[in-house]
Structure 1
């Protein structure tokens, strides 16, 4: 299971909700880890990872800078799709190949953006 700090989890033993605040490992045993969960009332509980189920993922609030970056990437992707169609048409391609060239150019730009967002997103750790 991959968790990030701030994820909301439910403990299956007593159905208590809480947020993940960290991971504790036992000294000398690297495979035995417990998840620190902040439960209502201000207490911290150490739970086994297999007793937890994810209720909601922590997500950063959308900022104006990220929205602008998304719009710029969308505009570049549409431009790349149009150029891909035009270059395929100049090469003498049929309409299907023109469509696929435009779709490929659009997908290449948006996939690059999604990889960047994934790399700069919240860190997940395996427990």
Structure 2
């Protein structure tokens, strides 16, 4: 199981919800520390926990601007790829596939770049 700080987990034993605050090791067994609403920190084995929600950092202003810029670049790449294919004498289906491929090349690059900037998850 991979967890990040801030993930919401549920203990299967008593169905207690909590937010992951860390990992500790006691007697050779790794335990997940999570903060429950009663104000205490509990420890649970990773096998006894269910991930309810993943922590997602809210986008910053710079991230929103970067998203819009990459969407614009993807549309421009799709337009240029389609125009180039059409000028080369391609059929409409090949023109459509060229546009889609150009768009996806930029979109996938943005997606993997944002995955690298996401919070790190650790294996428990």
Cα deviation, residue 69, structure 1: 0.7
> What is the alpha-carbon distance in structure 1 between the residues aligned to residue 41 and residue 60 of structure 2?
31
Cα deviation 1:30-54 (Å, max 9, x = unaligned): xx31111111222111100011111
Paired residues in the alignment total 124
For the pair 1:16 / 2:19, whether they are aligned, the reply is no
1:4-83 equivalent positions in 2, closer than 5 A? 4-26=4-26, 29=28, 32-83=29-80
The match for 2:114 is 117
1:82-93 equivalent positions in 2, closer than 5 A? 82-93=79-90
Q: Which runs of 5+ in 1 are unaligned?
A: none
Cα deviation, residue 115, structure 1: 0.2
Q: Which runs of 5+ in 2 are unaligned?
A: none
Cα deviation 1:1-57 (Å, max 9, x = unaligned): 111100011100000010001111246x4xx31111111222111100011111111
> What is the alpha-carbon distance in structure 2 between the residues aligned to residue 89 and residue 25 of structure 1?
62
| TM-score scaled by length of structure 1 | 0.92
Question: Is the partner of 1:119 in helix, strand or coil?
Answer: helix
Q: What is the root-mean-square deviation of aligned Cα atoms in Å?
A: 1.2
For the pair 1:2 / 2:2, whether they are aligned, the reply is yes
Following TM superposition, the consecutive aligned residue runs of length 4 or more in structure 1 with deviations greater than 3 angstroms are none
> What is the alpha-carbon distance in structure 2 between the residues aligned to residue 83 and residue 24 of structure 1?
53
Question: Is the partner of 2:23 in helix, strand or coil?
Answer: strand
